[in-house]
Amino acid sequence: MEKEDKKILDLINKKETFDKISSQIEILDKAFRALNTDYSYHVENTFGKDHKIFEMKKDIEFRLFSSKFHLQLLLQQHFKIEKRIESIYNEDRESIIRSMYPSNPIFDYCEKEITAIFDSIIFHLASVYDYLSAIINFICNNKNETISKWSQLNNACRQKGVYLNKNISKIIIDEHNQFVNNLYKYRSRLIHSTSDVHPISFDLILSSGKTNVKFFATNSLIKNFSELREKAKTHKITVSYSVNWIIDSTLKSIMKILFGLKSEMEKNSTFWTRKDQGLTFMHRDPKTGIGEFVSKKMWEEVEKEVKNHN
């Protein structure tokens, strides 16, 4: 039986939360730029040319932008719903406080609004991993473009073949088991099985008509993610908290994979054995005077920003 005295786990500062997500996406973009530069050093010299990876990452950029934009919409719509309920209450109190069978259509509509936006975020985030799998396969499988889904890449990492004994395979499998598979399962449930409407709850001050609206994450969402399940033992988790946690987890997961790709390219670098180096840019360390890959400094900046952000 669920405890009635559970505390509510919600976002404390919505603007600060949104700004933090925006900052994470900016850092991730820098990591993709470093990865792009790494490819030119360790795999194929493409300096001065259009880069396939740089083009492929634009799809990821759009999905992350869409996720952030829908997060903004969700937070804004939450505020608008509070004001709408207050306005309706001041004009017609009975439409808010009287019980209706099977439910109050005003609240039903509010729940659908928030759920529709939330679902869009889930769809965009899951799509990111499909686009990411194409980039991973392009880098690790000699520009091969036959893999376009995360499930294909996950299966390839578990079989004998190109990914056998690659360090990146372990990272992909770990991320799949710990987070990505759960995200995919929940998306699949929404698309193929049933909708998952997040319920509304609110406190109403009768004398003033002021409201404090909350939308709570459903059990079917919470049970898909172990960290949310653990928090739900002691807290009632809001949709706002849940969606922020899912976006944050996605961004951190992608960052782990990008650092894994960095290590994979460095380990299998062809830079020192290529006969035709072509045009190559190097960074001269001001302290040692030794030439270094430009990407080295780019990754150092990314690591520093990730550390400061966390």
Condensed to tens digits (0 to 9), the pLDDT of residues 154-200 reads: 999 999 889 988 999 999 999 999 999 999 999 999 999 999 999 99
Q: What number is the average pLDDT over the span 266-287?
A: 70
> Residue 199, CB half-sphere, CA atoms under 13 Å: how many?
8
* Residue 134 neighbours by CB under 8 Å, 6+ apart: 56, 145, 147, 148
The structure's pTM equals 0.91
- pLDDT tens digits for 216-263? 999 999 999 999 999 999 999 999 999 999 999 999 999 999 999 999
Burial 45-80 (b: 16+ CB within 10 A, else e): bbeeeeebbeebbebbeebbebbbebbebbbebbee
Burial of 276 (0-12, 13-18, 19+ CB in 10 A): exposed
What residue segments make up the domains of the chain, in order of their start? 14-217+242-309
User: Alpha-carbon distance 111 to 198, whole Å?
Assistant: 6
* Residues 244, 264: Cα–Cα separation, whole Å: 30
pLDDT, tens digit (0-9, with 9 covering 90-100), for 11-44: 999 999 999 999 999 999 999 999 988 888 888 8
